[in-house]
Amino acid sequence: MIKGTPELISERREEIISACEKLCQTMSFREITLKEIGGEVPFSRPTIYNYFQTKEEIFLALFEREYRTWTKDLEEIGKREADAASLAEAIAGSLEKRELMLRLLSVNLYDMEENSRIERLVEFKKAYCASVKAFDALLRKALPDQNGEERLETLVSAFEFIHGVYPYANSTKKQIEAMKEAGCRYEKKSIYELSAAGLKKILR
């Protein structure tokens, strides 16, 4: 049982998640350890274990926070009337602001979930499902002629596409060089450009 007021517990939890977010700016998922995260918080590293048992749980909590923020963006988009094309552009704009979320999508989510306690995983899934519902609400508005099965196909296609945006928009020099040597065409595009173009095709 974690000791302290609900406010203190919440504050420390957020400090740990924010420390992980800060490290993500310069380090990869593989490089970040609990020791590294512990060096970024104003309390002892063993205290972290009162809140999270593994680094994967911390990443999952960060991922959850990103999804919750994106869901708010989607809900704001839903307050405006939008056809499919303008909806795709609005969603692309929201994804451009959520680069960390897209980056986390390119990390091994399976390992994150597998190395987290069920209660942590449930909280993450709640945030994820909220974003799916918000996205579905946008589809109902922009594509009113689609039936339930068609809309589900569109939703799945959109989320599968979104999962691949970050790696393509942020290819390393080594990856680009390998693409060229392999004879594959590569054209540098931003998260917004990729998202808007792809989502417009999916939301036709």
Report the top-level CATH class of 1-51.
mainly alpha
Q: Which residues make up the CATH 1.10.357.10 domain(s) of the chain?
A: 55-202
Would you state the torsion angle of the CA atoms of residues 75, 81, 85, 86, taken in this order, to the nearest 10 degrees?
Answer: -70
Cβ neighbours of 76 (radius 10 Å): 12
13 Cβ contact partners less than 8 Å away, ≥ 6 residues apart? 51, 61
The CATH superfamily label for domain 55-202 reads: Tetracycline Repressor, domain 2 (1.10.357.10)
pLDDT in the model for residue 1 = 53
Separation of alpha carbons 42 and 29, rounded Å? 22
| Predicted TM-score of the model (pTM) | 0.90
Residue ranges of the chain with pLDDT lower than 70? 1-3
172: burial class by Cβ within 10 Å (0-12, 13-18, 19+)?
exposed
Separation of alpha carbons 133 and 71, rounded Å? 9
DSSP state of 96: H
Tens digits of per-residue pLDDT, 16-67? 999 999 999 999 999 999 999 999 998 888 899 999 999 999 999 999 999 9
pLDDT in the model for residue 5 = 82
Separation of alpha carbons 167 and 159, rounded Å? 15
Residue 127: both structure tokens together: 């945030």
161 Cβ contact partners less than 8 Å away, ≥ 6 residues apart? 198, 199, 202
Cβ neighbours of 111 (radius 10 Å): 13
Q: Which residues make up the CATH 1.10.10 domain(s) of the chain?
A: 1-51
